[in-house]
């Protein structure tokens, strides 16, 4: 997968429409977490230094296709301007004659932020006329919003049909780390997959069977697999509808020679509560009145052993209920082992990334993906419309 990247574009004096992910949390008119805005700055600053006239577009929240003060980009403009250290003008709309005039009047190095793209239902419908109007504002299109690249919307895909299109640095980095995992990973390639449900991760598990040497399964989804193998799982999470799927997965792993590691011990609780008593279960079987909340130390050791020799690792989904401090140790220990490993490490998934950040280990991971849903779909081997639009 080879993308057109922003460095190849000649942007001097050109109007550049850049799609970013400024969908940040806002409370009482203030941005409470500016991580996503900061993440887009390298591409934005690069374009401005190169003499582009910049038009920035993003979605924000769910205004349901209607203009509303609640979902205006106003608070985001203020934070963006502060971080960029440069005046940012907020357009009164996303498309239309007023915006066209403002775009035309832009000078080199100036920034115009469009209003919330989702003020128009045409955005999510990927309406061609809407995309054409957006495209008419600019000469060049740059996408740096990986988090929405799995959606074919007007600002993520539609506009690319009408403008020369390039990947920003964020998307470039995502693809640089993720594409090899699908195409030609360095072996041994170990996957650590967890999270709550088999149903949400089965497609990625099946896809990983084609590339991985070892798949470690933890989190709530592990118990359905353990049940298939005839173990007692007590009150643990269990998806009856996925018994056949889980069975088939284990069989095809065997056929393909992929080693599957499932929990061999657990930390359990009698109730799903933050302050529930921690019950150590030193074996695979879980008593009837207990639910598995985290993987145990022996399981951590098994995963750690695989990580020692791994050359590439992908992690998606926490090993336990890491939000509860009593049940976060398995996730934390695996995160630490990954941070210590010399393998190329990629972490994707909203909660897994939150866990890595919570433990302060993000800078020890080769690549922490900025897109939850998008990174999962990428690993499933699906074509992401927003990425496809940028391919050479
Ligand atoms: P990601 O966002 O990284 O893809 P998921 O959304 O699939 O991960 O799963 C994360 C959720 O799984 C967390 O909220 C976590 O509490 C939950 N979880 C992990 N292990 C268990 C378990 N043993 N029982 C119940 N929930 C679990
Ligand atoms: Mg999640």
56's enclosing H/E stretch is: strand 53-57
CA distance 115 to 96: 11
DSSP letters for 87-112: -EEEPSSSSSHHHHHHHHT--TT-EE
Beta bridge partners of 261: 216
Q: Are strands 291-295 and 266-269 parallel, antiparallel or unpaired?
A: antiparallel
Q: How far is the CA of 153 from the centre of ligand 1 (A)?
A: 29
pLDDT in tens, 269-279: 999 999 999 99
Residue 196 Cα to ligand 2 midpoint, Å, equals 8
Exactly one of 173, 373, 382, 388 is catalytic; which is it?
Answer: 373
Task: Decide if 197 is catalytic.
Answer: yes
Determine if the pTM surpasses 0.95: no
Question: If you search the block for the tokens 């089965």, which residue do you land on?
Answer: 202
The mean pLDDT value of the chain amounts to 96
Return the H-helix or E-strand segment holding 254: helix 243-256
Along the 392 residues of the chain, how does pLDDT read in single tens digits? 899 999 999 999 999 999 999 999 999 999 999 989 999 999 999 999 999 999 999 999 999 999 999 999 999 999 999 999 999 999 999 999 999 999 999 999 999 999 999 999 999 999 999 999 999 999 999 999 999 999 999 999 999 999 999 999 999 999 999 999 999 999 999 999 999 999 999 999 999 999 999 999 999 999 999 999 999 999 999 999 999 999 999 999 999 999 999 999 999 999 999 999 999 999 999 999 999 999 999 999 999 999 999 999 999 999 999 999 999 999 999 999 999 999 999 999 889 999 999 999 999 999 999 888 899 999 999 999 999 999 99
Distance 349 CA to ligand 2 centre (A): 6
Mutate to test the pocket of ligand 1, among 204, 220, 350 (most ligand atoms within 8 A of CB): 220
Q: Which domains does the chain have, with CATH numbers?
A: 6-169 (3.40.50.1260), 177-379 (3.40.50.1260)
From CA 190, how far away is CA 220, in angstroms rounded? 19
Task: Give the model confidence (pLDDT) of 4-63 as tens digits.
Answer: 999 999 999 999 999 999 999 999 999 999 989 999 999 999 999 999 999 999 999 999
Nearest atom of ligand 1 to the alpha carbon of 222: 23
- Please name the residue whose Cα sits nearest to atom 14 of ligand 1: 321
Nearest CA to ligand 1 atom 21: 220
Give phi and psi for 31, each to the nearest 5: -75, 125
Residue 147 half-sphere exposure toward CB, CA atoms < 13 A = 21
Q: From atom 7 of ligand 1, which residue's Cα is the shortest distance away?
A: 195
Residues lining ion ligand 2 (Cβ < 5 A) are 350-351
Instruction: Give the residues across from 27 on adjacent strands.
Output: 30
Query: 3-state DSSP call for residue 287?
Result: coil
| Whole-number pLDDT of residue 319 | 98
Question: What whole-number distance in Å separates Cα of residue 85 and Cα of residue 21?
Answer: 19
Give residue ranges with CB within 6 A of ligand 1. 194-196, 200, 219-220, 237, 292-293, 316-318, 320-321, 323, 349-352, 372
Catalytic residue among 86, 125, 197, 336: 197
Neighbour count for residue 101 (Cβ, 10 Å)? 10
| Active site (annotated) includes residue 36 | yes
Cα-to-centroid distance, 298 and ligand 1 (Å): 20
Q: For the packed helices 198-208 and 372-379, what is the interaxial angle rounded to 10 degrees?
A: 40
């Amino acid at each position: 997968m080879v993308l057109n990247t922003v460095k190849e574009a000649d942007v001097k004096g050109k109007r550049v429409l850049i799609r970013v992910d400024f969908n940040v949390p806002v409370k009482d008119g203030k941005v409470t977490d500016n991580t996503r805005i900061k993440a887009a700055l390298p591409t934005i600053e690069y374009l401005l230094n190169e003499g582009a006239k910049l038009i920035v577009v993003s979605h924000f929240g769910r205004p349901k296709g209607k203009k509303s003060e609640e979902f205006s980009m106003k608070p985001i403009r203020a934070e963006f301007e502060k971080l960029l250290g440069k005046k940012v003008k907020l357009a009164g709309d996303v498309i239309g004659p007023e915006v066209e005039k403002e775009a035309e009047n832009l000078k080199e190095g100036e920034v115009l932020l469009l209003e919330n793209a989702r003020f128009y239902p045409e955005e999510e419908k990927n309406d061609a006329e809407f995309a054409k109007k957006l495209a008419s504002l600019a000469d060049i299109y740059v996408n740096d919003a990986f988090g929405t690249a799995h959606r074919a919307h007007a600002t993520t895909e539609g506009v690319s049909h009408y403008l020369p299109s390039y990947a920003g640095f964020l998307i470039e980095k995502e693809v640089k780390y993720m594409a090899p995992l699908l195409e030609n990973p360095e072996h041994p390639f170990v996957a650590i997959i967890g999270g709550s449900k088999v149903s949400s991760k089965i497609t990625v598990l099946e896809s990983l069977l084609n590339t991985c040497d070892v798949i470690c399964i933890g989190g709530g989804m592990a118990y359905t697999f353990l049940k298939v193998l005839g173990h007692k799982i007590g009150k643990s999470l269990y998806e009856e509808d996925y018994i056949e799927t889980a069975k088939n997965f284990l069989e095809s792993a065997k056929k393909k020679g992929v080693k599957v590691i499932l929990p061999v011990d657990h930390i359990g609780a009698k109730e799903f509560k933050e302050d529930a008593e921690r019950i150590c279960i030193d074996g695979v079987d879980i008593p009837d009145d207990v639910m598995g909340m985290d993987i145990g130390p022996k399981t951590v050791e098994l995963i750690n052993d695989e990580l020692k020799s791994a050359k590439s690792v992908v992690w998606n989904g926490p090993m336990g209920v890491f939000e509860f401090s009593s049940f976060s140790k398995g996730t934390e220990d695996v995160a630490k082992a990954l941070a210590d490993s010399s393998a190329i490490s990629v972490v994707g998934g909203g909660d897994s990334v939150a866990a890595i950040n919570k433990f302060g280990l993000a800078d020890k991971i080769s690549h922490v993906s900025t897109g939850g849903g998008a990174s999962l779909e990428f690993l499933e081997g699906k074509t992401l419309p927003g990425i496809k639009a940028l391919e050479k």
